[in-house]
Amino acid sequence: MTKTALITGASRGLGAALAKALAPTHHIIAVGKTVGALEELDDAIQAAGGQATLAPMDITVDEAMQQLCRSIFDRWGKLDLWVHPAIHAAPLAPTGHIAPKDLSKSYAVNIEATSRLIAYVGPLLGETGKAVFFDDARGGERFFGAYGATKSAQIALAQSWQAESSKTGPKVQVLTPAPMPTATRARFFPGESRDGLADPNAEAARLLPEILG
């Protein structure tokens, strides 16, 4: 039976690169808000002989995530892998000047949605599946208050789940990717030279053995 991999945040960057890297061994369930980017990903996966199910959804919409997980259960009965690079990168700002709407959206995507997904996806992973998170929290760095606080909280959720499930499963993994020329990084560092940054596809290839291990 074909293994399944749910990727939340699959439309671009590391998520898209990991979807393509996992496609030879997994049926990819690709979640993202950008329909065109998901369709491009689907084309690339199919061209390489893989298969994908596209789920153009917003992970902050609780009903959508419930329906997605129910559909996964109805079709496959379980999940083998969940990869969660989805993130909201709020604009950089001094801590005392963070816009309330930016902090609220960061909280909704980075903490609330992650917490709900752990509750919904965990049972699908069962004892033998694996969940993978990515740590680049930048906690305490200048102007990264909204991102650093909420991303750090996301990783704290993952690490607690990791400790809680160490004997029972699923396996929970927190990886640290190298800096990449993604849209998120471009927002944080506009004008930065991309020389020396890791290509997302190359970084996906580097992380793949750890994810599949």
Query: pLDDT tier at 186 (50, 70, 90 boundaries)?
Result: confident
Domains of the chain: 3-212 (3.40.50.720)
What's the whole-model pTM score? 0.96
pLDDT at 28: 98
Per-residue pLDDT of 194-207, as tens digits, reads 888 999 999 999 99
pLDDT at 168: 96
Residue 14 has pLDDT above 90, yes or no: yes
Query: pLDDT tier at 71 (50, 70, 90 boundaries)?
Result: very high
Rounded to an integer, the average pLDDT of 163-169 is 97
CA 35 to chain centre: 17
Rounded to an integer, the average pLDDT of 166-184 is 95
Rounded to an integer, the average pLDDT of 96-111 is 97
pLDDT averaged over the chain?
A: 96
Q: How far apart, in whole angstroms, are the C-alpha atoms of residue 176 and residue 161?
A: 17
